[in-house]
Amino acid sequence: MSDSIEFLVVGLGNPGEEYEYTPHNLGFLAVDQLAGAHSIRVSRKENEARVGLGSVRGKRIALAKPQTYMNESGRSVKGLLGRYELTPDRLVVVYDELDLPWGSLRIRGEGSAAGHNGMKSVIAHVGTQKFPRVRMGVDRGREGGRGAGYLLSRLKRSERQEMEEMAGRAAAAVETIVAEGVEKSMAMFNRRAQGLQQEEE
């Protein structure tokens, strides 16, 4: 099975119901959306993660939600890359980003962690910054809309609907990366980002 998997898609988050609808768990939510759209059950326990195997637009993929808690996500990701004999360029990481406005979406082919502890862990364990990532903006631009307390706080019901919509767009962006490449996904989704006045470098 390992040699047939073409991509590893990882959503970052924290396990447990208390974190379910927090900004920091948007990565998990995006993986759930992708799994639901393609009838993939993310239930296997592998390398400290919940994993599901399936096909997305003709590509065999592994979907994963590390269960290590955010700051140790890289340990699980490194193990899964080894298990499926994949190089980092076949890894796609989906996560929340405090440096982007709420509701915006940004795809990049590589880059730093920009202060995100989950990504710091992934980069440290994988040993490179050169892998695609889909970032979902969670900065509300208001008091209390930044910092760890905000990232781990449960959102209101109205905000949860916005989370679901953002996660859905992120899942669509991942599909495009897998099927058509990161450049195509960037061209399609980066310019649609809501609340951004100019393109990010």
Handedness of CA 144, 66, 17, 161 (dihedral sign): positive
Q: SS3 sequence, the chain?
A: CHHHCCEEEEECCCCCHHHCCCHHHHHHHHHHHHHHHCCCCCCEEECCEEEEEEEECCEEEEEEEECCCHHHHHHHHHHHHHHCCCCHHHEEEEEEEEEEECCCEEEECCCCCCCCHHHHHHHHHHCCCCCCEEEEEEECCCCCCCCHHHHCCCCCHHHHHHHHHHHHHHHHHHHHHHHHCHHHHHHHHHHHCCCCCCCCC
**From the candidates 24, 38, 116, 125, which is the catalytic residue?**
24
**Is 24 labeled as catalytic in the residue annotation?**
yes
Catalytic positions are 24
